[in-house]
Amino acid sequence: MELTTISSNLLYGAFILYLIATFFFGGTIRAKGKEKVSTRSGNIAITITVIGFLLQVGYFITRWIVSKHAPVSNLFEFTTFFGMMLVFAFIIIYFIYRLNLLGLFTLPVALLVIAYASMFPQEISPLIPALKTHWLYIHVTTAAIGEAILAVSFAAGLIYLIKTVDQSKLTKKTFWLEFVIYALYATIGFVVITSVFRGIGYDSTFQIPSEVENAEPTQVEFTLPAITGPHNGELITNGAMQPLFNVPGWMEDAKAASKLNTFIWSLLSGLILYGLTLLILRKRVAAAIQPFLTKVNPDLVDEVSYRAVAIGFPVFTLGALIFAMIWAQQAWNRFWGWDPKEVWALITWLFYAVFLHLRLSQGWQGERSAWLAVIGFAIIMFNLIAVNLVIAGLHSYA
The model's pLDDT over 65-120, given as tens digits with 9 standing for 90+, comes to 988 888 888 888 889 999 999 999 999 999 999 888 999 999 999 998 998 888 78
Task: Output the pLDDT for position 75.
Answer: 85
Domain boundary residue among 127, 156, 180?
Answer: 127
**Cβ neighbours for 217, distance < 8 A, ≥ 6 positions apart:** 207, 208, 209, 210
Q: Has residue 141 been placed in a domain?
A: no
Q: Has residue 136 been placed in a domain?
A: no
Q: Are residues 311 and 387 located together in one domain of the fold? A: yes
Q: Are residues 303 and 348 located together in one domain of the fold? A: yes
Q: Has residue 135 been placed in a domain?
A: no
Q: What's the total number of domains in the chain?
A: 3
Q: Has residue 291 been placed in a domain?
A: yes
Q: Has residue 250 been placed in a domain?
A: yes
Q: Is the dihedral of CA 24, 28, 29, 32 positive or negative?
A: positive
Q: In whole numbers, what is the pLDDT of the chain averaged over residues? A: 86
Average pLDDT over residues 357-382: 90
Q: Has residue 55 been placed in a domain?
A: yes
| pLDDT one-digit tens code per residue, 213-256 | 666 777 888 888 888 888 777 888 888 888 888 877 766 666 77
Q: Are residues 114 and 14 located together in one domain of the fold? A: yes
Q: Has residue 365 been placed in a domain?
A: yes
Cα separation of 101 and 87, whole Å? 14
| pLDDT one-digit tens code per residue, 261-310 | 888 898 999 999 999 999 999 999 999 999 888 888 899 999 999 999 99
Instruction: Identify whether the C-beta of residue 152 lies closer than 8 Å to the C-beta of residue 306.
Output: no
Q: Has residue 180 been placed in a domain?
A: no
Q: Are residues 297 and 232 located together in one domain of the fold? A: no
Q: Are residues 22 and 120 located together in one domain of the fold? A: yes
Domain boundary residue among 97, 127, 157?
Answer: 127
Q: Are residues 118 and 9 located together in one domain of the fold? A: yes
Least Cα distance to 113 among 134, 139, 131, 88 occurs for 88
**302-to-140, 160, 354 alpha-carbon distances in Å:** 29, 7, 17
Task: Output the pLDDT for position 398.
Answer: 42
Q: Are residues 317 and 369 located together in one domain of the fold? A: yes
Domain boundary residue among 66, 96, 127?
Answer: 127
Q: Are residues 59 and 114 located together in one domain of the fold? A: yes
Indicate whether 59 pLDDT > 90: yes
Q: Does the predicted model carry a pTM greater than 0.85?
A: yes
Q: Are residues 329 and 368 located together in one domain of the fold? A: yes
Provide the residue range defining the domain that includes 225: 200-261
Least Cα distance to 101 among 157, 177, 174 occurs for 157
Task: Output the pLDDT for position 356.
Answer: 93
The H or E element containing residue 235 is: strand 234-235
Q: Are residues 245 and 305 located together in one domain of the fold? A: no
Q: Return the minimum-mean-pLDDT range out of 65-79, 310-324, 384-398.
A: 384-398
Q: Are residues 256 and 324 located together in one domain of the fold? A: no
Q: Are residues 1 and 110 located together in one domain of the fold? A: yes
At 37, is the pLDDT very low, low, confident or very high (cuts 50, 70, 90)? low
Three-class DSSP category at 242: coil
Average pLDDT over residues 169-193: 90
